[in-house]
Structure 1
Amino acid sequence: MIVLLILSVLLVALLVYLFNQWSRNRMPSRKQRDRVLREVQQDMDGWSADLVKIHREELDLFSLTQEKQVIKRGTGTTAKGTFTTIFHEPVVSYSYRRYLGKQVNALLYARTADHDYVYWTEKGKTRLEIDGQPVGTIDGSTLLGERTGMELARIEATPRENYLPVSVGKREVAALKTLPVSTDDPLSQRAFEFIPDDLNDKEEQLLLSLTVRELVGRSLG
């Protein structure tokens, strides 16, 4: 009887543990997402270093190097990291959570000194918000406008030599290198082949919205 009682207690404890794991790693409903996002933002407040403002020079120096990257894999995947310039100045921090599901269900939150980027991916489809405002849907590596459904920005799928062209509207605004993202790389490879001198704020935000997502994806494998 005692053995049966112990087995029953262990079974109940296991079921409770599995239920908690399932609940923690289940894609939040739309009503729960604001709360989940606030939790992620508060966690980043206490974790992320003071970020250097991104101007034209910082984009030109933006590197493939990350500092303090932490990846945890289990029932779900979580990750955090900070992208730096080639001089190891922190410029973009992010937090990533992948939830259960046959298709990709995930939250990616990224921040610069001036802007917040939120990517909710549900069943493989990603919706992007910048500074709390809906921007559009990312289909593959193409950002489509929220209201118009028209292309706003794109990372080309086919490499041109050793980089991927990035365009905003009809203008090519960067060439993203195809090298893998590294951590604590003393050489600090530059992420972009070129950035035009007259890049405006809207182009910068859309450029970062696609490239940060691409680079986080590379670092997670």
Structure 2
Amino acid sequence: MIYLAILAGTLVIGGLVLTSLIAKNMAPGNKRLAMETERLKEDMDTWVTKLVPIDKEELELFSLGQDKQVLRKGVTTTAKGIFTTIYHEPVLAYSYRQYLGKAEKPNALLYARTAEHEYIFWIKKGTATLFIDSQEVGTLSRDGILKGKRTGKVIAQLKPGKEAMQPVEIGGKEVGNLTTSIVKAEKGLHERAFSFIRPDISDKEEQLFLALALEELVKRAVGS
């Protein structure tokens, strides 16, 4: 009887732990989303000190290299890191957390910041709602098409790669190219992330360009 009681108690405790684990990794609703985002921000404050502002020169030097990169895969996937220039200057930090769901249509939260802007991607079944500086911009599909919140029309797009590059179009014009290379942890100079940036790219176009590039680079880094 004692052994049965112990076994029953163990099963109850195991069930509670499993239930708690599942609840913790379920995709949050709108209210919990704000709490989860704040948690990612507070955590980032502990490992990000200062980021170099991204001007035209820094954008051209933006690399595939990352500092403080951490990737954990278990029941769900979490990742964080700081993208640097080819000279190892920190320019963009991100934190990613995936929740329970199908691998091909993930539920996840991606928070990122530069020295001047903040990006939030709330991903439900593979489609992301994009916020820049707390303003909802629109929805980003799994294949890199960003549609505006107000119009529902395509405002930016990461196009399929041609050769080793993926063109990024904003407002119907190509503003830059993202390399299709995979990040490699090597010493010395890192490979540039962008092979071409329009010399007349505007601040707004730069924000959208970085948003599409960031989502794609993080997707590659976590293997999703």
- TM-score, scaled relative to structure 2: 0.95
Separation of aligned partners in 2, 1:12 and 1:183 = 44
Question: What is the CA–CA distance in structure 2 between the aligned matches of 1:185 and 1:63, rounded to whole Å?
Answer: 13
Q: Matched residue pairs, number?
A: 220
Pairing 1:62-211 to 2, within 5 Å after superposition: 62-102=62-102, 103-139=105-141, 140-157=143-160, 159-211=161-213
Contact 2:106 2:124 in 1 (8 A): yes
Deviation at 1:168, TM superposition (A): 1.1
Alpha-carbon distance in 1 for matches of 2:187, 2:32: 38
In structure 1, distance between residues paired with 2:186 and 2:135: 33
Q: 1:101 Cα deviation (Å)? A: 1.4
SS of the residue 2:20 aligns to? helix
Q: Per-residue deviation at 1:8? A: 1.6
Say whether the 8 Å CA contact 1:66–1:182 is kept in structure 2.
Answer: no
Paired amino acid for 1:143? L
* C-alpha distance in structure 1 between counterparts of 2:101 and 2:133, whole Å: 28
Unmatched runs of 5 consecutive residues or more in structure 2: none
SS of residue paired to 1:128: strand
C-alpha offsets along residues 138-182 of structure 1, whole Å, 9 cap, x if unaligned? Answer: 12201110000111111112x222111111112211111110022
Displacement after TM superposition at 1:72 (Å): 1.0
Distance in 2 (CA, whole Å) between partners of 1:183 and 1:127 is 30
Which residue in 2 is equivalent to 1:37?
Answer: 37
Q: Does structure 1 retain, via aligned residues, the 8 Å contact 2:87–2:189?
A: no
Per-residue CA deviation, residues 38-64 of structure 1 (Å, 9 max, x unaligned), is 111111111223111000000000001
Distance in 2 separating the partners of 1:136 and 1:208: 15
Question: Contact between 1:65 and 1:185, CA under 8 Å: does it hold in 2?
Answer: no
Aligned partners of 1:67 and 1:184 also within 8 Å: no
User: In 2, distance between residues paired with 1:33 and 1:90?
Assistant: 27
**TM-score relative to the length of structure 1:** 0.96
Structure-1 separation of matches of 2:164 and 2:125: 31
RMSD across aligned positions (CA)? 1.1
Aligned-partner Cα distance in 2 for 1:93–1:82? 4
For the 8 Å contact 1:65–1:181, the answer to whether it is kept is yes
The amino acid that maps onto 1:117 is Y
Q: Distance in 2 between matches of 1:184 and 1:19?
A: 41
Structure 1 regions of 5+ residues with no counterpart? none
Q: Output one character per residue of 1:161-208: Cα deviation in whole Å (capped at 9) or x when no partner.
A: 211111111221111111002234423000111112221110100000
